[in-house]
Amino acid sequence: MKIVGTGIGKIDGMSISTGKPVYTDDLVMPNTLVVKLLRSPHAFAKITVIDVTKAEKIPGVECVLTYKDVPNVRFTVAGQSYPEPSPYDRLILDQIVRYVGDEVAIIAAVDEKTAVKAMKLIKVEYEVFEPVLDFETAQGHASIVHPEDDLHCNFDIGTSKEKNIVSSQKVEFGDIEEELQKCDVVVEETYYTQAQAHCMMETYRAFNYLDHMGRLVVVSSTQIPFHVRRKLARALEMPASKIRVIKPRIGGGFGGKQTVVVEIFTAIVTLKTGKPAKLIYDREETFTCTNSRHAMRLTVRVGADTEGYIRAVDIQGLSDTGAYGEHASTVFMVVGQKTLPLYNKTKAVRFIGNVVYTNKMPGGAFRGYGATQGTFALEAAVNQLAEQLNMDPAELRLKNLIKQGETSLAYDGKLLGSSTLHRCIETGKELIGWDEKYPKVVNGRKVRAVGMAVTMQGSGIAGIDTASAEVRLNDDGNYTLLIGSTDMGTGSDTILTQMAAEILETTMDNIIVNAADTDVSPYDPGSYASSTTYVTGMAVVKAAEELKQKIVEHGAKLLEVLPEDIEFDGQVVSTLTGEKELSLAKLAELMVLGAGNLQLVGHGTYGSPVSPPPFIAGFAEVEVDTETGKIELIDYVAVVDCGTVVNPNLARIQVEGGIVQGIGLALYEDVRFGEKGQLQTNNFMQYKIPCRKDIGVVRVAFEESFEPTGPFGAKSLGEVVVNTPAPAIVHAVYNAVGVRINSLPITSEKVFMGMEKNK
Quick one: pLDDT at residue 19?
87
Same domain, 580 and 469: yes
Q: In terms of residue numbers, what domain contains 261?
A: 15-129+198-288
Same domain, 253 and 328: no
Helix segments in 275-358, DSSP class H: 283-288, 328-337
Quick one: pLDDT at residue 227?
98
**Domain-embedded: residue 408:** no
Q: How far is CA 458 from CA 337, 371, 410, 627, 646, in A?
A: 9, 10, 14, 42, 17
DSSP 463: T
Last residue of a domain, one of 265, 288, 311: 288
Same domain, 471 and 385: no
Average pLDDT over residues 632-639: 98
The per-residue pLDDT for range 706-741, each reduced to its tens digit, is 999 999 999 999 999 999 999 999 999 999 999 999
Q: How far is CA 642 from CA 500, 707, 718, in A?
A: 20, 9, 10
Q: What is the CATH number of the domain that holds 558?
A: 3.30.365.10
**Domain-embedded: residue 187:** yes
Same domain, 231 and 359: no
**Domain-embedded: residue 331:** yes
Q: Is the dihedral of CA 382, 388, 394, 395 positive or negative?
A: negative
HSE toward the beta carbon, residue 34, CA cutoff 13 A = 15
Last residue of a domain, one of 536, 571, 606: 606
**Domain-embedded: residue 5:** no
Quick one: pLDDT at residue 352?
98
Given a cut of 90, is residue 751 above it in pLDDT?
yes
Same domain, 476 and 379: no
Same domain, 157 and 42: no
Amino acid at 60: G
Q: What is the CATH number of the domain that holds 54?
A: 3.90.1170.50
Quick one: pLDDT at residue 717?
96
Quick one: pLDDT at residue 413?
86
Distance of CA 261 to the CA centre of its chain: 15
Average pLDDT over residues 601-616: 97
Same domain, 466 and 516: yes
**Domain-embedded: residue 336:** yes
**Domain-embedded: residue 577:** yes
Please provide the average confidence, as pLDDT, over all residues in the chain: 97
Last residue of a domain, one of 288, 320, 340: 288
Same domain, 282 and 332: no
d(CA 197, CA 288): 9
**Domain-embedded: residue 700:** no
Given a cut of 80, is residue 573 above it in pLDDT?
yes
Amino acid at 349: V
Same domain, 321 and 347: yes
HSE toward the beta carbon, residue 725, CA cutoff 13 A = 28
Quick one: pLDDT at residue 597?
83
**Domain-embedded: residue 63:** yes
Percent of the chain with pLDDT over 90: 96
> In total, how many domains does the chain have?
3
Q: Nearest 5°: CA angle at 118, between 115 and 123?
A: 140
What's 631-648 look like in SS3?
A: EEEEEEEEEEECECCCCH
Quick one: pLDDT at residue 689?
97
Average pLDDT over residues 138-164: 97
Same domain, 230 and 184: no
Same domain, 99 and 202: yes
Q: How far is CA 218 from CA 145, 213, 260, 453, in A?
A: 32, 14, 12, 43
Same domain, 282 and 306: no
